[in-house]
Amino acid sequence: MKNGGELVVDTLEHFGVSRVFCVPGESYLPVLDALYDSSIEATVCRQEGGAAMMAEAWGKVHSTPGVCFVTRGPGATNASAGVHIAAQDSTPMILLVGQIASESRYREAFQEVDYQQFFGGMVKWVAEIDSAERVQEMVSRAWHTATSGRPGPVVLVLPEDTLADTANAVVLKPWTQHETAPTAQQMQQLQLLLNNARNPLVILGGSRWSGEAVSQFQQLAERFDLPVACSFRRQTLFDNEHSHYAGDIGLGINPRLVQRVKDADLLILIGARLSEVASQDYQLIGLPVSHQKLVHVHGGAEETGKLYQPDVAIQAGAGSFCTLCEALEVPQILPWQGQAQQAHAEYLEWSSLSQTVASGDMMRGVMEHLGGTLPADTILCNGAGNYTGWIQRFWRFRQYGTQIAPTSGSMGYGLPAAIAAKLAKPDQTVVAFAGDGCFQMTSQELGTAVQANAAIIVLVIDNGMYGTIRMHQEMHFPGRVSATDLFNPDFAAIARAYGIFASTVGTISEFTEAFSQALTSRKPALIHIQVNPDALTPTLSLASMSNRD
């Protein structure tokens, strides 16, 4: 016989969980006690939002659910920030929430929340485990639900009495990722569309990819000489320096790539949903009927036809689809021959740092130095803000899994994501980018990095404002600055208080020296980069907006 807490931990062990992220709470003490004797490492976080973001990032890295434990009420509501990221980013994740005793339900007991209502529209499944006998069943279902179809978050609620009660454990079967595959008819339809195409374009996105699938698709692109673009913050799905890479379809998109999408007569959308950002506010292709022939490949049947009516809808994961694509026959004549190389040349021109504004000289120098210093397998993490344009436009991602960023546009994500990425891939360099506003939403997780010995490098880009909102203010209400200025602390002093390497820099020479020291410190490091507030984005200055007629 085991208590509910032990059964929770045992079941997670069965599914291969090696690490969980948590903020401890008395509502799930039996779980904490079971973790004491478990092989599972518990990473203790400072705030539940950071813990959930770490679990979500862990899910991105491993393509299996990141697991987060939080206490009831405020703990769960704080964690919702990370849950929302998992939902919009299609990341497998399980949030386990301590709960009041069952006998106290519906009395508005201490920290009571109706989790069905609170999380219901945000997750794939939310349920309360009402007895110890059902713990293994429900945790198993949560795991399968989080990883099936379109991956996403699941919430399981753990009442105090369920965790204290006992039950006999059962022997669970091994888990493997369930993959659906295209039918022979669907592959024949795809072959026919390729045979008749003159301007095809492929867009890669979503989750449920692997290094092997990325490699397989690259070979397909080479065989068919296809131009390939990646959707918003999914740039590691295709080598950015490959001669067939056309760029990313997201914020600040290359106008030539926009035109290339519009001119295509065949779009092959693999894994991506082409939602608001990637579709340029749903204006890039027709909705619901696209201007082009459309092949939509997605692991979730509910996603094909949800926004766009495809000519061929294929429910399949990227792996099984790319494997079957090896049998596709290349037409004797390729009317689009050379278009991939032209698209790549346009991308190289667009992603050249020579395109940046003069007042962005500090970040231009930072990106040049990082590009010449960091290995290709460096993992870059970021949250939200105009500073992310320096990464998305000018960093050339070479390897799968080296971009950990929220398609949901969540601020505060970069630091906790970097901690999870470093714990998952300890032999790789991990760099977190964060704006001054973005960083302060989760800056307390520096303590988590130190305690977990996650030797990340955090670059805090400080322009003294919520820059993205200031940009929109200048666009819509010029000269009327309201609620966007920031009074910032000495970020390096805060970091040093945690015992990590820290430096404040205002010149490129200072940055290069500080970054070298950060790399060799072999412990968490923070570099506070003071930048010119005139550079609202890499290509837009505040002065140019203020001088408009």
Residues 529 and 423 in one domain: yes
For the four alpha carbons of 513, 517, 520 and 524, in that order, the dihedral sign comes to negative
Average pLDDT, the chain: 95
How large is the angle between the packed helices 339-350 and 255-263, nearest 10 degrees?
160
Which stretches within 23-134 are classed as H helix?
29-36, 48-62, 74-89, 115-119
Q: What is the CATH number of the domain that holds 61?
A: 3.40.50.970
Task: Single out the residue in 316, 332, 348 at which a domain terminates.
Answer: 348
For the four alpha carbons of 237, 407, 538 and 360, in that order, the dihedral sign comes to negative
Read off the pLDDT band of 466 (50, 70, 90): confident
Domain contains 178: no
Mind listing the pLDDT tens digit for each residue in 131-184? 999 999 999 999 999 999 999 999 999 999 999 999 999 999 999 888 889 999
Where is average pLDDT lowest: 363-367, 440-444, 476-480? 476-480
Domain of 535?
354-546
Which stretches within 158-241 are classed as H helix?
160-164, 184-196, 211-224
Residue 548 pLDDT > 90: no
pLDDT for position 265: 96
Mind listing the pLDDT tens digit for each residue in 297-324? 999 999 999 999 999 999 999 999 999 9
Residues 522 and 458 in one domain: yes
Where is average pLDDT lowest: 66-80, 101-115, 116-130, 356-370? 101-115
Residue 19 pLDDT > 60: yes
Report which of 178, 177, 209 is spatially closest to residue 89, judged by C-alpha positions: 209
pLDDT, mean of residues 347-375: 95
Domain contains 172: no
Residues 446 and 530 in one domain: yes
The per-residue DSSP string of 17-32 comes to --EEEE---GGGHHHH
Residues 402 and 369 in one domain: yes
pLDDT for position 485: 87
Decide: pTM greater than 0.85: yes
Read off the pLDDT band of 547 (50, 70, 90): low
Residue 408 pLDDT > 70: yes
Residues 210 and 108 in one domain: no
Burial of 380 (C-beta count, 10 Å sphere; 0-12/13-18/19+):
buried
pLDDT for position 178: 81
Domain count along the chain: 3
Residues 263 and 150 in one domain: no
Task: Single out the residue in 167, 197, 214 at which a domain terminates.
Answer: 167
Domain contains 305: yes
Residues 369 and 510 in one domain: yes
Residues 337 and 445 in one domain: no
With a pLDDT cut of 70, the percent of the chain lying above it is 99
Domain contains 179: no
Domain contains 418: yes
Residue 546 pLDDT > 80: no
Domain contains 88: yes
Q: What is the CATH number of the domain that holds 235?
A: 3.40.50.1220
Residue 204 pLDDT > 80: yes
Report which of 465, 477, 459 is spatially closest to residue 385, judged by C-alpha positions: 465
Could you tell me if 70 and 57 are in contact, meaning their C-beta atoms sit under 8 angstroms apart?
no
